[in-house]
Structure 1
């Protein structure tokens, strides 16, 4: 059943999530105008696109590893594919950001911090959940890759993988905070004051959103389902309205995490998964396309915004950037850049990196030939 699914609705959610983040950053051009209260209240909550990304990521990891056999070969192959999927584009984005800072004579982060970020390691001890990275947009990639590592290691436990996965979550998100700080928080901006940047990342409640995506993925694979009907369509629409109402009610406070923005998103995502598992909706092709370029769009849009704005500054037209027309018209530009990145970086460079690593992986795990003079068990 699951193998027949195209999951276009998942691609659409990815595209919507990326576009929401783009809109969040486009609002910055109106922060020094009389429109600041409006954009902070009604547009800033679009940042919850990040929370949606995390939920979708957890779901996809369950879906794509449904054939996991618990072997080291499978788990290492999984990690290679995930690394090749996220790292090349991220590395290009970081290098482009550094080049932009150098070209505009702006301060550049120390080399050690840049290298840490390229290794998906946090830099700052006390900036939850953003981790103080040289290219700030990349903070989500730290959590993403950490999740891949935990997920990959859990695969090694075979039939007990979900027990191992749950045990690790309890250890890092409940026991460690309780023992160290005396309480457990579900707010992503909470700081347990561990004194270790890595400990702060591993215990950040944002990880719960990945776990929620995993749980929804398991529900999708289960026998549970909701029959597609006008009632379930209305329920999904109600969930969307709840998301909007919750976001506007809490604005302009940044409330990433499972207990605020994440909660209504989880509800919507769960209902969609249980409804669409047997009756996938017809998704507009533009949303599927947007989902296809969502990763590049997320990583590169901020650089594109800054580069275009710098051109206006150099042309002596800085005042034009603090207007609604500019904030609106600049949004489509990253779409074109993301489409190029999808073709040449994601489907080009990243695929070559993946194929070479998988070729090396295949040689490492190749069945050794029988020693000369011996007979293999198959030949026997």
Structure 2
């Protein structure tokens, strides 16, 4: 655990930098590279070595949790910068869906020519799978995505929906309660949670997937129209999505979360990033924030071991959690420094890199002969070819799909403003007081506020 001490209230802070925050870009790019390395490693170092490393350090889990922590930090900042849930949702949808849909099209094309196979769950429940992919919430319906990395998108989308609901009701600064409360539910009461309350059967899952599409569209419509009653109703729907990880976190064997309590635990990590953002910007009481983050850290390390009894869970979750804490603390410490352009570029293309890297790996492994994949030189070549093609694909997708999508989103925002007028602000909230200004930020594990704000001195400490 690291402790970061902030400047006292009223102390001068650095001027706000350019719109992009290099340290967060670097963390995002780094997380994407780590996840890609995790998926590449069996092809390069061999499955046995990959499993040996996994018994101590699960690089996939580590990289995803860095993503979660960064997302938790960034999303409230994005909402509050605009002060508009309409702008947030239009910007977010046009930010994530174009590259997501392109990836789906590429995968289906590869399936059509028999290079890739659709997993059995989606083959058995195609309609449910399609509906689940519309909202990105397929994991909580009980179905895996077309490619495995899609599972994190379900948690990200769930987080957006819940945080938007809290923002609409003026409850968004209660981050400490959400982070700590969810972590405690997973740690203490996790075994009491049902895994498949809404999706135990084939028909149940199809109905649930359809209901989620309807609720998702209805909540977005409320935010887009922007009238206060509709925003409040959309907020209720958004907060209600918490029922998915709480009661349907592992509806089938295809769900990535092993149980509902594990799904709740991972959601608490996203909220941990939000707590750090709030403490950084002096929006919550320092002791409440520190306590919540400590609870998340303890829960991240111990919950799986307590509920499964497997010592391996204690080792792997503890190592991953502490490494995420250290990683984010290092990034935060360097936030005032100019970041190398190559590293910030990785952050800019990180979403496309994350989506496409598995597709690239599948294609390379399909076309290379077995004797090449078995030789040392061949494995090195696979690694080099993988990074060359993946980075090129990520750059092209970012340049030709993501950026035009974001530009289109801005035009749509303007048209909606003209059609519906300005949307109403969130519920009023009391201003922060000097007594609430935090002096300590604890960085905990969970995968973009301005570097010049608040904390200025880093004091490492081990407990």
TM-score for both structures, normalised by structure 1: 0.71
1:269 corresponds to:
328
Match of 1:301 among 357, 361, 364: 357
1:48 Cα offset (Å): 1.2
1:286 corresponds to:
342
Larger relative contact order (C-alpha < 8 A, sep ≥ 6)?
2
Q: Cα 1:36–1:290, aligned 2, differ >3 Å: closer, same or farther?
A: closer
- What are the superposed Cα offsets for residues 277-329 of structure 1, whole Å, 9 maximum, x if unpaired? 6xx123211101111110000000110111122222xxxx2221244313421
Tell me whether 1:98 sits opposite 2:111 in the alignment.
no
Match runs of 1:1-380 below 5 Å: 1=14, 3-4=16-17, 6-30=20-44, 35-37=49-51, 40=54, 44-67=58-81, 69=83, 74-104=84-114, 107-108=117-118, 109=122, 110-123=126-139, 132-158=144-170, 160-163=171-174, 183-184=189-190, 192-196=194-198, 198=244, 199-201=247-249, 203-222=263-282, 261-270=320-329, 272-273=331-332, 275-276=333-334, 280-312=336-368, 317-322=369-374, 323=376, 324-329=379-384, 330-352=386-408, 354-366=409-421
For the residues of structure 2 that align with 1:64 and 1:207, how far apart are their CA atoms?
Answer: 19
Q: Cα 1:80–1:166, aligned 2, differ >3 Å: closer, same or farther?
A: farther
For the residues of structure 1 that align with 2:315 and 2:138, how far apart are their CA atoms?
Answer: 20
Kept after mapping to 2: 8 A contact 1:41/1:251: no
For the residues of structure 2 that align with 1:78 and 1:33, how far apart are their CA atoms?
Answer: 42
Q: Cα 1:263–1:214, aligned 2, differ >3 Å: closer, same or farther?
A: farther
For the residues of structure 2 that align with 1:183 and 1:2, how far apart are their CA atoms?
Answer: 46
Q: Once superposed, what is the RMSD of the aligned Cα atoms? A: 3.6
- What are the superposed Cα offsets for residues 112-147 of structure 1, whole Å, 9 maximum, x if unpaired? 303312321225666xxxx52232211111111111
- What are the superposed Cα offsets for residues 324-350 of structure 1, whole Å, 9 maximum, x if unpaired? 313421223201110000100101234
Kept after mapping to 1: 8 A contact 2:178/2:271: no
For the residues of structure 2 that align with 1:338 and 1:50, how far apart are their CA atoms?
Answer: 18
Kept after mapping to 1: 8 A contact 2:116/2:362: no
TM-score for both structures, normalised by structure 2: 0.59
For the residues of structure 1 that align with 2:396 and 2:315, how far apart are their CA atoms?
Answer: 33
- What are the superposed Cα offsets for residues 170-217 of structure 1, whole Å, 9 maximum, x if unpaired? 776656x79xxx8237xxxx9842333534348531111111111111
Instruction: List runs of 5+ in structure 1 lacking aligned partners.
Output: 225-242, 244-249, 369-380
For the residues of structure 1 that align with 2:399 and 2:329, how far apart are their CA atoms?
Answer: 32
Kept after mapping to 1: 8 A contact 2:85/2:164: yes
- What are the superposed Cα offsets for residues 66-117 of structure 1, whole Å, 9 maximum, x if unpaired? 4454xxxx11221221111111111111221122122116543324303312
Q: Cα 1:2–1:183, aligned 2, differ >3 Å: closer, same or farther?
A: farther
- What are the superposed Cα offsets for residues 19-49 of structure 1, whole Å, 9 maximum, x if unpaired? 0011111112157666455554587525411
Kept after mapping to 2: 8 A contact 1:52/1:262: no
Kept after mapping to 2: 8 A contact 1:24/1:43: no
Kept after mapping to 2: 8 A contact 1:20/1:47: no
Q: Cα 1:41–1:56, aligned 2, differ >3 Å: closer, same or farther?
A: same
Q: Cα 1:33–1:204, aligned 2, differ >3 Å: closer, same or farther?
A: closer
